[in-house]
Structure 1
Amino acid sequence: MNEYPIEYYQFFIKFNEGDYYTCHDLLEDMWMEDKSNLFLKGLLQMSVAIYHYSYGNVKGTRLMMKVAHEYLQPYRPKQWGLDLESVIAYIEHCISIIPDDIDKVSFSKIEELPALPTLFLYLEDD
Structure 2
Amino acid sequence: MREEIPSEFWQGIEQFNQQEYYACHDTLEALWMEAMEPTKKFYQGILQIAVGLYHLSNHNWQGTVTSMGEGMRRLDYFKPDYFEINVEQLIHQTTNLLLALQSAGPDKVADFIFAENGGKNSLEITPPKIFKIES
Q: What is the TM-score of this pair, normalised by structure 2? A: 0.78
Residue 106 of structure 2, aligned match among 99, 102, 116: 102
Aligned partner letter, 1:34: A
- TM-superposition CA deviations, 1:55-114 (whole Å, max 9, x none): 111100000111011101111111000011101101210111114631796xxxx3x233
* Stretches of structure 2 lacking an aligned partner (at least 5 in a row): 113-122
* 1:11 to partner: Cα distance: 1.1
1:77 to 68, 77, 80: 80
Matched residue SS, 2:126: coil
Aligned length: 120
Q: Distance in 1 between matches of 2:128 and 2:99?
A: 15
Q: Structure 1 unaligned segments of length 5 or more: list them.
A: none
Aligned alpha-carbon RMSD (Å): 2.2
Aligned pair partner of 1:123 in 102, 125, 132: 132
Indicate the percent of aligned positions where both proteins have the same amino acid: 29
Distance 1:22 1:15 in 2: 8
State the distance in 1 between where 2:4 and 2:36 align.
20
- Change in Cα spacing, 1:57 to 1:78, as seen in structure 2 (3 Å) is same
